Structure 1
Amino acid sequence: MSPDSVLVRWLPVSAIAEADWPVLSALLPEDEQARAQRFHFRRDWESYTVAHALLRGTLTRLAAAAGHPVAPPDWRFSIGAHGKPEPILPEGVPPFRVNLSHTRGLAAVAVALDREVGVDVEWLDRTNLTIDLADRFFAPAECAQLVGLAPEAEKDALFAFWTLKEAYIKAVGMGLALPLGAFAYTLDPLSIAFDDRIQDDPDSWYFQRLRPTQGHVLGLALRHEAPERAMLDAAPAGLAALLRLAG
């Protein structure tokens, strides 16, 4: 990875065979495996397991490429006040910053070098992301962009705003402690603006919208002092390579 790059990988749950699940689970340390087992619904166990296996496997492959082998279960993380994980880096390992997200049927991770990064994925069939929710939580400038849109365009814009907002608040490590109405996106061209509740520079952010599958959308936020230099490396994760790490 270069200092200007951000790596994004995603993995659909539908790509994982039943026999693969114990192998993926083996990439997690025992405490994370136990946490996953406490989920009531199988789909939640699957989402958690694939997201954390993908995160650990991605870090392992990046560290190995830099000449520092670390087994997937051996990564340790500090957790911020609002739940953001950051790897506790072994000596010599590059300064990776990470974020992960999972939703019904998909997990994704983002990795950058010593830069704040956030990623969010959403399942397009979720039913609670509506105009009413936008009116309650989005900035007025965003709500204005939704006026008069055809139904499909309205849905696309709703999910774009939501994933991008989640990506930003995850990147800065604030979670929903940061009011969603305190910042507003413009979708074309893609940019952000802050009100006086947030002291941040809108020109220091790189954003992207992606469609990793037909049924999912992804939003990415990367702090970068020169966003025009940011380089995106986004692709599906290689499941076979991930499974080999458990061997």
Structure 2
Amino acid sequence: MLKKERFKAFVDHFALQMPVAETELAYENPYQLLVAVILSAQCTDKRINMVTPALFRDFPTPELLAATTFDELFHYIRSVSYPNNKTKHLIGMANMLVNDFGGEVPSTVNELVKLPGVGRKTANVITSVVWNQPNMAVDTHVFRVSKRLGLVTQNAKTPLEVEKQLIRHLPKEVIHKAHHWLILHGRYTCLARTPKCDTCSITHLCRYFERNKIQAAKMEGLPPAPKKS
């Protein structure tokens, strides 16, 4: 299967099976999403959604978050990963929002990455989720699944390399959705250690599945199935 055909099959499948693809983080406005995404680094969305209701209730604006103390905020997020660093990041982020951006979440990647705790991945999440910009956030799921499917080359060693390859070949209008397609497929089907290939609906375009099928045939002494072009 040619790369162009593989991307088309990927988009066609998920556009039909998952036309509405959204983040699983609970939020009501850009400020809340920014806080949730900063907290979600190396932590599950489920855990973050348990923490943020009280946090958003007591700190509903950047101004209130900026005015709090480390000890007070730490109490709210102590159950997430790396709570010390994230407490510092949230207070620093809120202060910069208030002082440099008038209390509003900026809408460009270049502006967002200036905020404490915000890297390129987080900035891509915010701009793609809130404003449907054609930006691709590459987390561990996107990195793994895009390689297994054969959407990106195996020699893509960094998230930025994977991001650039995906952006280059995906239709611009679906990039913000494709981010969620890859994440959700990785989270629930294409698991890191034990991918659920037996229930996966896109094995027909998956290079990982094809390689393992050929390897299994060799181990059983059977002639491998002919490779797809």
Q: Same fold (TM over 0.5)?
A: no
Higher strand share: 1
When the two structures are superposed, what TM-score results if normalisation uses the length of structure 1?
A: 0.23
Greater Rg, structure 1 or structure 2? 2
When the two structures are superposed, what TM-score results if normalisation uses the length of structure 2?
A: 0.24
Higher helix share: 2
User: Taking CA–CA contacts closer than 8 Å with sequence separation of 6 or more, which of the two structures ends up with the larger relative contact order?
Assistant: 1
